[in-house]
Structure 1
Amino acid sequence: MTEWTVHGRRQVYGSPWVELWLDDVDIPGVGRVDHHVLRMPKECAVTVVTDGEGRFLMLHRHRFITGRWAWELPAGWIEPGEAPATAAAREVEEETGWRPGAVEPLTGFDAMSGISTMHFHAFHATGATPTGGPVDRSEASRVEWLTEREVVGLLTAGEVADGASLAALSYFLGPHRLAAGRAGPSGK
């Protein structure tokens, strides 16, 4: 298999949040086609926040685009010049009202690599101290510390619908934990 060749591109729409481009690509075995590409001007950070008691900090919110209530992790844009870990900590505090302790990288991933440049940096933050409530109250209807059993139940019931949250939690509970040789977030 060879790589696709891009012969040109033109912007169809642009804003500070999203751009839509039409790329003229040559697909081996198919030929030249116009391919839509969503370009995201900023990368994103998503954070799994755990405490020393095996609980996870999560948000419950409604997403008007999907018309669905679901549980999510704190996440948001990385501003120009901002370190991804700094953005992760900022987003946790703004969205939850909890200031995270140590913030360590987990993994990175492309959310929709077949059509979008959206890239996420996933982090694990340990410990958190309350700061008096979320700065942006529009982010969630509830902010709660949930046990690992509750989080796994939400994951298996489809109550974590956000792709970034699903990916970060799955990575944390699976490969991250296995690589560290731990059975649970507190090493139990």
Structure 2
Amino acid sequence: MADPRVVSIETVYRGRLFDVELATLEMDGGVVARRETIRHPGAVCMVPVLADGSLLLVTQYRYAAGRRLLELPAGTLEAGEAPEAAVARELQEEVGQVPGRVIPLGGFYVAPGYTSEYIHLFACLELQPSRLAGDEDEDIEVERRTLAEALAAVEAGEICDAKSVIGVLRWARMVESSNR
């Protein structure tokens, strides 16, 4: 099957964090389709692991969800910023730690049916205190959980955003495979 031919792309909204595009595509057989896409610069999500193996999580109010969520720390890439650089910056802003060691855990598209957002996932170890000022509109509280407690929070639906569920499960799988 051939990829659709892009007939036109129009940016219908420009925002601080993302843009919205309306594309017209010509599919196989001449069918014309329209696609709305949120264009996002990408993000990083960190699994901060303390020396005792426990994790640092954050709670913050998420307007779209209508409540505070328990999450792994994460942040949007700045223009031209490498994911590894964003990891150090975001971790210092959100939990006041800088990682001595960063392990890539892969990545994923958030929802490729309507957004280009790709999240790069990393485990952060050998943490040292170091604070950078966060965004003025962030309302973040830091929580410490053992890996077992974080897994239980995933199972109970207390951790319910995709990036955090994926991050906790990928880290647990890595720990499990290294203990074999």
Please give the secondary structure, in 2, of the residue aligned with 1:61. Answer: strand
Q: Deviations over 1:109-157 (max 9, x none)?
A: 11111111101111111121223x6733753442022101110111011
Contact 1:46-1:76 within 8 A present in 2 as well = yes
Please give the secondary structure, in 1, of the residue aligned with 2:153. Answer: helix
Contact 1:85-1:104 within 8 A present in 2 as well = no
Query: Are residue 157 (structure 1) and residue 156 (structure 2) matched?
Result: yes
**2:13 aligned residue:** 13
Contact 1:39-1:117 within 8 A present in 2 as well = yes
Aligned length: 179
**1:121 aligned residue:** 120
Please give the secondary structure, in 1, of the residue aligned with 2:116. Answer: coil
**1:32 aligned residue:** 32
**2:22 aligned residue:** 22
**2:133 aligned residue:** 135
Displacement of 1:21: 0.9
Q: Deviations over 1:27-62 (max 9, x none)?
A: 44792121111111x221111111231201110122
Pair 25,17 (structure 1): closer, same or farther in 2 beyond 3 Å: same
TM-score w.r.t. length of structure 2: 0.87
Pair 29,112 (structure 1): closer, same or farther in 2 beyond 3 Å: farther
Query: Aligned partners of 1:160, 1:29: CA distance in 2, in Å?
Result: 44
Please give the secondary structure, in 2, of the residue aligned with 1:117. Answer: coil
Unaligned runs of 5+ in 2: none
Please give the secondary structure, in 1, of the residue aligned with 2:32. Answer: strand
Q: Deviations over 1:72-106 (max 9, x none)?
A: 11111222232211111110110111222211211
Pair 71,134 (structure 1): closer, same or farther in 2 beyond 3 Å: farther
Displacement of 1:162: 2.3
Unaligned runs of 5+ in 1: none
Query: Aligned partners of 1:29, 1:153: CA distance in 2, in Å?
Result: 50
Please give the secondary structure, in 2, of the residue aligned with 1:88. Answer: helix
Query: Aligned partners of 1:111, 1:141: CA distance in 2, in Å?
Result: 22
**1:93 aligned residue:** 92
Pairwise CA RMSD: 2.2
